[in-house]
Amino acid sequence: MKNYKELIKKYKNDELTIQEREEFEAEIESSSELLDFILDKEQLDFSESSPHISEDTNSNELTLKRKIHKRIIKLAALITISVLCIITILYYSVPKLIDLVFYNPLQGQELVKDTHKIRIPSDYELEEYLSNQLNLDEDPLTGLFIEKTGTAKYSISKEYYNDFRGEKYLDKTVLDKSIIQSTITDSMNRYSLIYGESSENGVDIPVTELSDLTKKINTLPDSSYLNITATFSQEQNWNDIISFIESHPNIKVYSTTLSYKQSSQNLGIRFIQEKNLNTTLTTFEFDQNFKDTLTKTYPGLFDTPTIHSSETDVFNFIHSTISYLNDHVTKSNKNPILTMNRNEKLATIKKNELTFSKITLAIPKSEWNTIISENQFNSIALTDLSLFSN
């Protein structure tokens, strides 16, 4: 290997032979890296006055510098483009990856082409609709609207219908990275129009102690309606409930509560009023093939009971609904806002044990004395009243 430093030293001191000098100058001209090193570090004089270098050396040096400059510009441009591509990829892909990590209430939803109509509901939507069918602590759910507002952030609006008041209202929830940030309701339920002490609102009062409440009710206008939940003296089967409804044509029956001792909630059957068929959710308007597939495993899942349903139909509906909810919470246990208690046990719901303990009614003032004198009930809770019929 040549010792270039030694050669350069001898070249500067004119100690090389003519042949060695010509060979060294030729090597310098043929090697751009060596030339660049010499120009930058050794400062050899390759000007026209030097007899040791060709006339084209200055031109070659300039050409070489230009090539290097172009290469630097190209490299800088390549690096810039690469960085921009990486930033763009991260901008679009990272939010999607974050969405996959956190709970997505829209997962599984399919819309009818070119519309906002739901063809197949998301897992969350179906869970909410089904749980509301049995959860009597809520008013009937008539609409559910989910909007993605950011990365792993969703706005969820649930529309309910209070039949006694004849009003719809919304519960709005913001779900941010699986955490409920806020819940707002525009319901007026907290302003219940109750005569007498507020403790009487929704509190069971034994039938034998209703005299004070009866006096207050008797002062109401004759047009008044009462919203009450009555507890039966003994548990009723489905046929008993239907017989009670048919024997009281002047009252509205909203729901009947299951005798379900393991539940911390009021689970039962709703009765949708015929005049409200257009304002309440009575059927699941989803893709029929989707419903048929589910009902093979969960018979009667979408067959909301009516007063014309048989006890077998009611049993299938209740059993399938709770079965579906329990089966799917095991698979998607990330849902942080599902309202129904998931620890319900199906073992206590058997066809020959399908009994009911309470019934929720809307009655005209004129029916109050008749209801409390029938000896069918142990206690009655007055939950709301209206001075005029809806």
Based on the fold, state whether residues 75 and 179 are members of the same structural domain: no
The per-residue pLDDT of the chain, averaged, comes to 78
Based on the fold, state whether residues 96 and 120 are members of the same structural domain: no
Phi, psi for 375 (deg, rounded to 5): 60, 25
Beta sheet of 355-364, edge-to-edge order: 205-206, 377-386, 225-237, 355-364, 252-258, 268-270
What total number of domains does the chain contain?
3
Whole-number pLDDT of residue 275: 52
Three-class SS string for 68-96? HHHHHHHHHHHHHHHHHHHHHHHHHHHHH
3-state secondary structure (DSSP) of residue 241? helix
Whole-number pLDDT of residue 374: 84
Report the distance separating Cα 170 and Cα 168, nearest Å.
7
Based on the fold, state whether residues 241 and 332 are members of the same structural domain: yes
Based on the fold, state whether residues 85 and 116 are members of the same structural domain: no
Q: What angle do CA 289, 293, 297 make, to 5 degrees?
A: 160
Report the distance separating Cα 20 and Cα 261, nearest Å.
109
Based on the fold, state whether residues 83 and 124 are members of the same structural domain: no
Classify burial at 133, counting beta carbons within 10 Å of its beta carbon; exposed 0-12, middle 13-18, buried 19 or more.
Answer: buried
Beta sheet of 167-176, edge-to-edge order: 141-150, 153-162, 167-176, 179-185
Nearest C-alpha neighbor of 369 from the set 201, 215, 204: 215
Nearest C-alpha neighbor of 306 from the set 360, 241, 352: 241
Whole-number pLDDT of residue 351: 54
Q: Using an 8 Å Cβ cutoff, are 324 and 298 in contact?
A: yes
Whole-number pLDDT of residue 135: 87
> Which residue carries 């990590």 as its tokens?
101
Report which secondary-structure segment, H or E, holds 326: helix 311-331
Based on the fold, state whether residues 218 and 350 are members of the same structural domain: yes
CA 308, 311, 316, 317 dihedral sign is positive
Report the distance separating Cα 71 and Cα 61, nearest Å.
15
Based on the fold, state whether residues 269 and 157 are members of the same structural domain: no
C-alpha separations of 274 from 139, 269, 367 in Å: 16, 16, 21
Based on the fold, state whether residues 36 and 114 are members of the same structural domain: no
Last residue of a domain, one of 185, 202, 224: 185
Q: Using an 8 Å Cβ cutoff, are 257 and 357 in contact?
A: yes
Based on the fold, state whether residues 276 and 368 are members of the same structural domain: yes
Last residue of a domain, one of 185, 216, 247: 185
Whole-number pLDDT of residue 137: 86
How is residue 116 written in tokens?
């906002």
List the chain pLDDT tens, one digit each, 390 residues.
567 677 777 777 778 788 887 787 777 666 655 555 555 555 554 444 444 444 455 565 566 567 677 778 888 888 899 889 888 888 778 778 888 888 899 988 888 877 777 889 998 999 888 888 888 888 889 889 999 999 889 999 999 988 888 888 888 999 998 888 877 776 555 444 544 333 344 678 898 888 888 998 999 999 999 999 999 999 999 999 999 999 999 899 999 998 865 555 678 899 876 554 444 444 467 888 999 999 999 999 988 888 889 998 998 998 898 888 888 764 444 554 444 444 444 555 655 578 899 999 999 999 999 998 888 999 999 988 888 765
165 torsion bin: left (phi>0), alpha (psi -120 to 50), beta (else): alpha
Concatenating the DSSP letter of every residue in 11-68 gives: HHTT-S-HHHHHHHHHHHHH-HHHHHHIIIII----STT-TTS-TTHHHHHHHHHHHH
Based on the fold, state whether residues 140 and 237 are members of the same structural domain: no
Q: Using an 8 Å Cβ cutoff, are 198 and 379 in contact?
A: no
Based on the fold, state whether residues 84 and 132 are members of the same structural domain: no
Q: Using an 8 Å Cβ cutoff, are 106 and 148 in contact?
A: yes
Q: Using an 8 Å Cβ cutoff, are 339 and 129 in contact?
A: no
Domain membership of residue 338 as a residue range: 194-386
Based on the fold, state whether residues 331 and 234 are members of the same structural domain: yes
pLDDT tens sequence across 329-382: 644 445 544 444 444 445 556 555 788 999 999 999 999 999 988 889 999 999
Last residue of a domain, one of 158, 185, 212: 185
Whole-number pLDDT of residue 323: 85
Whole-number pLDDT of residue 97: 83
Whole-number pLDDT of residue 265: 65
Concatenating the DSSP letter of every residue in 328-355 gives: HHHH-TT-S---S-TT--GGG--GGG-E
